[in-house]
């Protein structure tokens, strides 16, 4: 039998190699030197950028986990993007309002963000179980609605700042300092990046160790068998979708509450959009399991941060070429997992046959 | 049992001989030791109940699947197909039960599609189509749109497609299933023409009247292998039915009755409607006592699956369902399982297993709210695994370990695991839908033994089966279901398969119009 570790590592390695080859091809095609390109991309980042990679990775991880909760039961929550946008806005309004003192304000904002994300995710869930609307369609549309909704609210109720509108910035007492791993000027790992660790552990524990997680996985693996086993699929759809949305609500909070981040309010320039889609890619890359998602998040954050160096290093390639790399990784990983999965299934079957031949005499005959 | 290999070239060019074909799929042996000799220029019927391995054999003959063992000889030449193209090359053509025609194209376009190299796509092809159509009385106009054609004509287009590609040996998969009697007669006339011109026809069916009417030779398949041959001039339907259903198989003899007078399951006025308001089940009244096995006989598709799913609350029917005296109409599937209903589903891959999960997780499935699988809201891995080992030992599930994925096991072993699981936690009622379908003989006997033992201990069993011997052998009482109603009750000690077959088809012994209802007797069990 193929060792589990080998088969687990093989697919990502194959995908990475393919991504390197194809990206190099693109780099050559646009007339730059792939050697220079990879030299920049694979160089060790500066201290400041190490921290940026960690902060970005934690947000991507939260997003990947949010997507993975849905994926685990074949629920395609493409709406993480909209859910964390709405949740971030709600949290920023509440936290900026400073209704509660210091730490309490932070905790309340976190809870509120989760509730807002869950509520935004509940819309497609309810549409799906009552009306049979595909969650793929409705979440994509809700992403667009989220952009307009937050934009509308900002421009009507937001505070004027220069030529833009924003939510009221957080008071100093509700901001978190973070962990300064290097010198002060390099910045810090945002405090709420720790949410990624907490969420990662809870995700693993709930999925693998609880009855609820079992029901969720069973529904994902074989819905009709789950129904026959007594799972109420409708209830699971709503619960899983809302959990997914609640986790999505956390995505941008590390940034919002970080003293060292560029802005402690919600505005169209400060809010980092797109993390919801990156999360989907990373969930695919990490096979919906927490360790895989963590590695995928680090890889994507690393590639994203490194690509900003291309310009400074004088490599004549747009840093958007890294999107090609990321895209190719996701595409090839799906294929690679499938190939490796087939090898494993065949190996399993050989193992069963071998084990049975060893001790059994007569085997089956069937219709 | 096996055919003596004959000189396969004796009857001219179009003979086919299949020797020792075995085909395994993950978890199941679909064909084993299949031997058939088809004389050239004859209509050879291949009969057997659903799941007997006919389709797999056809696919092997047509190159869709490769056999693991055995040889195929066409016109005296041993051949090996890696795709249907190879089969077409040696002159084998196949007409599938479900037509593969493009409705918005003409007959000509459909026929030449994919065979443009043969006669082009213009007048030469048209001439060839007209020639074939005239030669065998197909009466097809090459320029008609397929969407305007009736079912019988479409079937002729399919046959024409095959002939156009030069087939001399034609496989027809249940060709009459979609036809009304007049169309069947017309088809048979076409087939006789084809035979007269030297074509060989392999005719797959389970309609015995038709087989006797058209075939020159008959081969019977059961449980994946060829079990006998019959001469249509002398064979009777009864003999064929017996060969198909297998009355000489080890029969599950029940010992003395253990039926008590405690009513365990009681259904009254249970009805179920489909989306369009038609009755899938109508006014079902039934009772099962402790220690009793109630068998449900019926041609498949008459409401058995719906009855089971209604009792399991997987579908919402109307009427009352009482378990051990308590009304459980409001209980959902999980609550009903917790009350002690075990469920061996008809389709174990669809309803019974998580194929890509290890065996111990499959042990938890359906019992994920009960000990030993859980402690509070958490899965108790240790105890669940321990109990999985108990099932593996007690039910002789052959597997290298409980961490093996369910997919890797054979059908029989998967089924033993399911039966073991559903017998766990002291069920009071077991719903067993086709519990031994697609499992090997050894596993079948074991599963029967487990059901019998549980019955002695007071388990009530609702048994649904297409195997009349299994029904008669295991049941204390048999109810017949027809078009969603229970239409008759029989005592298995005195009933004959003929009585049952007659009740299952609505008391008619001859042709029926309804194609879901087979023609007669033993055949009913077979469909």
DSSP state of B436: T
A58 lies in a domain? Answer: yes
Task: Indicate if the pLDDT at residue A342 is higher than 80.
Answer: yes
A72 lies in a domain? Answer: yes
Q: Which position has the higher pLDDT, A366 or A95?
A: A95
Single out the residue in B210, B245, B280 at which a domain terminates: B245
State the Cα–Cα distance between residues A188 and A185, nearest whole angstrom: 9
B314 and A367: CB-CB below 8 Å? no
**pLDDT of res. B479:** 92
B441 lies in a domain? Answer: yes
Nearest CA in chain B to A206: B378
Q: How many domains does chain A have?
A: 1
Q: CA neighbours within 13 Å on the CB side: how many for B109?
A: 11
CB B60 within 8 A of CB B67: yes
Single out the residue in B368, B402, B425 at which a domain terminates: B425
**Each residue's pLDDT tens digit, A288-341:** 999 999 999 999 999 999 988 888 887 788 888 888 888 888 888 888 888 888
Residue A88's nearest CA partner among A186, A6, A170, A190 is A170
Reduce the DSSP state of residue B405 to 3 states and report it. Answer: strand
The listed range with the strongest mean pLDDT (A172-181, A233-242, B190-199, B217-226) is: A233-242
Q: CA neighbours within 13 Å on the CB side: how many for B154?
A: 21
State the Cα–Cα distance between residues A298 and A55, nearest whole angstrom: 10
State the Cα–Cα distance between residues A301 and A294, nearest whole angstrom: 11
A74 touches chain B (CB under 8 A): no
Residues B185 and B91 in one domain: yes
Range of the domain at B509: 251-340+427-527
A211 and B368: CB-CB below 8 Å? yes
CATH of the domain at B325: 3.40.50.300
Nearest to B404 among A209, A227, A348 (CB): A348
Strand-strand pairing, B217-222 and B225-230? antiparallel
Ranges under pLDDT 70 in chain B:
1-12, 25-28, 49-51, 177-178, 180-181, 206, 245-255, 300, 438, 440-441, 505-527
Query: What mean pLDDT do residues A60-73 have?
Result: 95
Q: CA neighbours within 13 Å on the CB side: how many for B499?
A: 14
Residue A4 banded pLDDT, cuts 50, 70, 90 = low
Residues B35 and B179 in one domain: yes
Q: Which residues contact B114 (CB under 8 A, 6 or more apart)?
A: none
Residue A2 banded pLDDT, cuts 50, 70, 90 = very low
Nearest to A229 among B30, B365, B438 (CB): B365
A252 lies in a domain? Answer: yes
Secondary structure of A274-317 in the HEC alphabet? CHHHHHHHHHHHCCCCHHHHHHHHHHHHHHHHHHCHHHHCCCCC
Q: How far is A295 from chain B (nearest CA, A)?
A: 24
A81 lies in a domain? Answer: yes
B24 touches chain A (CB under 8 A): no
**pLDDT of res. B507:** 56
pLDDT-above-70 percentage for chain A: 94
Single out the residue in B398, B425, B452 at which a domain terminates: B425
Q: Give the dihedral sign, CA A110/A111/A112/A116.
A: positive
Residues B301 and B353 in one domain: no
**pLDDT of res. B518:** 37
Reduce the DSSP state of residue B164 to 3 states and report it. Answer: helix
Residues B160 and B47 in one domain: yes
Residues B47 and B165 in one domain: yes
Nearest to B412 among A215, A226, A364 (CB): A364
B9 lies in a domain? Answer: no
Range of the domain at A184: 33-315
Q: How far is B133 from chain A (nearest CA, A)?
A: 38
Residue with token string 């051990």? B324
B489 lies in a domain? Answer: yes
As to burial, measured by CB atoms within 10 angstroms (0-12 exposed, 13-18 middle, 19+ buried), residue A76 is middle
Reduce the DSSP state of residue A180 to 3 states and report it. Answer: coil
Q: Which residues contact B357 (CB under 8 A, 6 or more apart)?
A: A217, A218, A221, B365, B405, B406
The helix (run of H) or strand (run of E) holding residue B171 is strand B169-173
**pLDDT of res. B12:** 53
B11 lies in a domain? Answer: no
A365 and B443: CB-CB below 8 Å? no
Residues B332 and B385 in one domain: no
Task: Indicate if the pLDDT at residue A226 is higher than 50.
Answer: yes
Residues B279 and B314 in one domain: yes
Strand-strand pairing, B225-230 and B374-375? unpaired
Query: What mean pLDDT do residues A59-78 have?
Result: 94
Residue A61's nearest CA partner among A286, A273, A268 is A286
CATH of the domain at A306: 1.10.3470
The listed range with the strongest mean pLDDT (A59-63, A104-108, B407-411, B487-491) is: A59-63
Q: CA neighbours within 13 Å on the CB side: how many for B366?
A: 33
**pLDDT of res. A16:** 85
Residues B385 and B441 in one domain: no
A5 touches chain B (CB under 8 A): no
Residues linked to residue B43 through DSSP beta bridges, in sequence order: B201
B298 lies in a domain? Answer: yes
A363 touches chain B (CB under 8 A): yes
Q: How many domains does chain B have?
A: 3
A347 lies in a domain? Answer: no
Residues B215 and B301 in one domain: no
Residue B363's nearest CA partner among B338, B339, B337, B391 is B391
As to burial, measured by CB atoms within 10 angstroms (0-12 exposed, 13-18 middle, 19+ buried), residue B393 is exposed
| Sheet architecture: strand order including B43-47 | B92-95, B169-173, B200-205, B43-47, B217-222, B225-230
Q: Token digits for B3?
A: 């055919």
A292 lies in a domain? Answer: yes
Residues B453 and B416 in one domain: no
Residue B125's nearest CA partner among B136, B111, B141, B137 is B111
Virtual CA dihedral for A365, A367, B4, B5, nearest 10 degrees?
-100
Residue with token string 């891959």? B349
Residues B329 and B395 in one domain: no
Residues B435 and B387 in one domain: no
Q: CA neighbours within 13 Å on the CB side: how many for B236?
A: 5
pLDDT-above-90 percentage for chain A: 53
């Amino acid at each position: 039998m193929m060792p589990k570790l080998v088969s687990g590592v093989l697919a990502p390695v194959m995908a990475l190699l393919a991504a390197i080859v194809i990206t190099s091809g693109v780099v050559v095609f646009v007339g730059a030197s792939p050697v220079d390109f990879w030299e920049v991309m694979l160089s060790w980042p500066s201290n400041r950028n190490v921290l940026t990679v960690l902060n970005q990775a934690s947000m991507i991880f939260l997003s990947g986990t949010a997507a993975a909760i849905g994926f685990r039961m074949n629920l395609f929550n493409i709406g993480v993007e909209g859910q964390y946008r709405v949740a971030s806005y709600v949290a920023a309004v509440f936290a900026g309002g400073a209704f509660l003192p210091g730490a309490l304000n932070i905790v309340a904002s976190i809870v509120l963000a989760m509730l807002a994300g869950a509520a935004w995710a509940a819309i497609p869930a309810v549409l799906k179980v009552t009306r049979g609307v595909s969650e793929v369609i409705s979440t994509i549309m809700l992403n667009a609605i989220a952009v307009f909704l937050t934009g509308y609210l900002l421009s009507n109720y937001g505070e004027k700042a220069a030529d833009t509108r924003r939510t009221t910035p957080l008071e100093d007492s509700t901001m978190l300092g973070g962990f300064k791993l290097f010198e002060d000027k390099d910045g810090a790992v945002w405090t709420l990046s720790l949410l990624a660790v907490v969420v990662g552990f809870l995700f693993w524990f709930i999925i693998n160790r609880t009855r609820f997680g079992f029901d969720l996985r069973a529904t994902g693996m074989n819905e009709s068998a789950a129904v026959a086993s007594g799972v109420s699929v409708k209830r699971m759809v709503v619960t899983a979708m809302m959990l997914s949305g609640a986790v999505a609500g956390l995505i941008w909070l590390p940034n919002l509450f970080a003293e060292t981040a560029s802005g402690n309010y919600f505005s169209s320039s400060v809010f980092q959009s797109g993390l919801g889609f990156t999360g989907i890619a990373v969930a695919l890359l990490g096979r919906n399991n927490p360790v895989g998602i963590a590695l995928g998040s680090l890889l994507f954050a690393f590639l994203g941060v490194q690509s900003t160096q291309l310009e400074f290093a004088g490599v004549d390639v747009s840093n958007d070429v890294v999107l090609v790399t990321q895209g190719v990784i996701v595409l090839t990983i799906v294929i690679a997992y499938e190939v490796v999965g087939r090898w494993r299934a065949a190996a399993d079957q050989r193992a069963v046959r071998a084990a049975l031949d060893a001790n059994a005499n007569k085997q089956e005959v069937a219709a | 049992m096996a055919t003596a290999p004959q000189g396969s070239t004796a009857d001219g060019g179009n003979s086919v001989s299949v020797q020792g074909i075995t085909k395994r799929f993950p978890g199941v042996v679909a064909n084993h030791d299949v031997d058939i000799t088809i004389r050239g220029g004859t209509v050879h019927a291949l009969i057997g109940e659903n799941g007997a391995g006919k389709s797999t054999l056809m696919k092997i003959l047509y190159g869709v699947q490769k056999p693991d063992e055995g040889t195929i000889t066409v016109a005296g030449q041993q051949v090996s197909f890696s795709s249907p193209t190879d089969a077409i090359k040696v002159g084998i053509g196949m007409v599938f039960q479900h037509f593969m025609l493009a409705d918005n194209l003409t007959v000509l376009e459909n026929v030449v599609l994919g065979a443009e190299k043969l006669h082009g796509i213009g007048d030469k092809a048209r001439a060839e189509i007209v020639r074939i159509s005239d030669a065998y009385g197909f009466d097809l106009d090459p320029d008609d749109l397929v969407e305007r054609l009736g079912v019988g004509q479409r079937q002729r287009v399919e046959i024409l497609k095959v002939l156009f590609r030069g087939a001399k040996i034609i496989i027809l998969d249940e060709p009459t299933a979609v036809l009304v009697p007049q169309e069947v007669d017309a088809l048979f006339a076409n087939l006789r023409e084809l035979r007269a011109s030297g074509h060989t026809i392999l005719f797959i069916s389970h309609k015995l009247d038709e087989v006797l009417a058209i075939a020159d030779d008959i081969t019977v398949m059961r449980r994946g292998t060829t079990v006998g041959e019959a001469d249509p001039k002398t064979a009777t339907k009864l003999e064929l039915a017996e060969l198909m259903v297998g009355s000489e198989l080890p029969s599950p003899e029940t010992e003395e009755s253990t039926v008590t007078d405690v009513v365990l399951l009681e259904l009254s006025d249970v009805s179920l409607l489909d989306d369009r308001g038609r009755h899938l089940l109508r006014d079902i009244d039934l009772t099962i006592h402790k220690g009793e096995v109630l068998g449900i006989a019926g041609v498949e598709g008459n409401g058995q699956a719906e009855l089971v799913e209604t009792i399991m609350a997987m579908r919402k029917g109307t009427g009352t369902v009482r378990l051990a005296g308590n009304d459980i109409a409001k209980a959902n599937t999980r609550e009903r399982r917790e009350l002690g209903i075990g469920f061996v589903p008809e389709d174990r891959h669809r309803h019974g297993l998580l194929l890509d999960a290890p065996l111990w997780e499959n042990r938890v499935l359906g019992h994920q709210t009960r000990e030993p699988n859980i402690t509070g809201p958490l899965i108790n891995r240790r105890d669940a695994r321990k109990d999985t080992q108990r099932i593996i030992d007690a039910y002789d599930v052959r597997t290298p370990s409980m961490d093996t994925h369910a997919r890797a096991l054979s059908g029989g072993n998967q089924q033993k695991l399911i039966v073991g699981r559903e017998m766990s936690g002291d069920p009071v009622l077991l719903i067993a839908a086709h519990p031994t379908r697609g499992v090997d003989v050894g596993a079948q006997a074991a599963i029967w033994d487990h059901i019998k033992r549980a019955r002695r201990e007071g388990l009530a069993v609702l048994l649904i089966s297409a195997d009349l011997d299994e029904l008669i052998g295991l049941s204390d009482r048999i109810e017949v279901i027809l078009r969603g109603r229970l239409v008759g009750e029989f005592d298995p000690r005195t009933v004959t398969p003929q009585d049952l077959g007659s009740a299952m088809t609505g008391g008619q012994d001859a042709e029926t119009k309804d194609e879901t209802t087979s023609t007669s007797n033993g055949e009913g069990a077979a469909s």
